[in-house]
Amino acid sequence: MIERSLFVTLHDIHPLNSSKIEKQREQLLSWGVSKMGLLIIPYYHHKKSIEEDEKFCNWVTSRIQAGDEPIIHGFYHDRLGITEKISQLFWTQFYTQQEAEFLNIEEKEAIERLVQAKKMFMNLGWQSKGFIAPGWLYEPPLLDWLRKERFSYTAAIDRIILLESFNPSYIYSFSLCWSNRSLWRRSISQVWNGWLKNNCIKRKKAYVRVAVHPEDSDYRSLWSQLERIVKHFLDLGMEPQTYGILVKS
């Protein structure tokens, strides 16, 4: 494994927000993030498949060729057709906006979506070793389903999960991530991520994760903090990497 790695991931990538995503990627490049994970939604909110947008696909392909890693990020990124549980309303209604697609999903439906997503990526010439559920929200059986479909890793908000052996192994690293839907969320996020950054430095964490979302750049103070944090870790000698380096094949 490569020591002192900075894993930056750009979330919720799909054709309908491609202009904003491309600008964010350019900014991250200018900060020194030479490679990162691209969390791509195959069929965002049932509206448009990635296969329908040649320009978008060409851009993703160009980024893969430059060292970025494509990661399957759900399939629809919504909960349409999934039964709600009262015990999970916090996660589906408050923590996310009805986007916890793989929380309380039936196995048959989950497998179908995983297979279809992987097929889409293969048809486009994109090799993906990883799957990350929207909101990092899932239930334990998902790990078995991912292994069955030959995914090498996934992630929760507090860990990277390697699936190459029968028993998953964990790399504990709490992802920096900003909630941007309201002023109070943004304020709390900035305090939390400032503390988390300092904690990573204090504990000399070898693996640091930073999750970037499309709307983050809409808010100047949030985006400025994100820039400062990323540059700080790079100045400390951390190397931009993708999760794929952690798996054997």
Spans of all domains in the chain = 5-246
Q: Which amino acid, residue 148?
A: K
Give the H or E element holding residue 186.
Answer: helix 183-202
pLDDT for position 93: 53
The 10s digit of each residue's pLDDT in 192-240 is 999 999 999 999 999 999 999 999 999 999 999 999 999 999 999 999 9
Q: What is the CATH number of domain 5-246?
A: 3.20.20.370
The pair of three-digit structure tokens given for residue 206, joined into one six-digit string? 């070898």
Give 194: exposed, middle or buried? Use CB within 10 Å, 0-12, 13-18, 19+. middle
Residue ranges of the chain with per-residue pLDDT less than 50: 90-91, 94
pLDDT for position 94: 46
Cβ burial 87-118 (10 Å sphere, 16+ → b, else e): ebeebbeeebeebbbbbbbeeeebeebbeebb
The whole-model pTM stands at 0.91
Number of neighbours of residue 244 by Cβ within 10 angstroms: 17
Q: What is the CA radius of gyration of the chain?
A: 17
pLDDT for position 95: 55
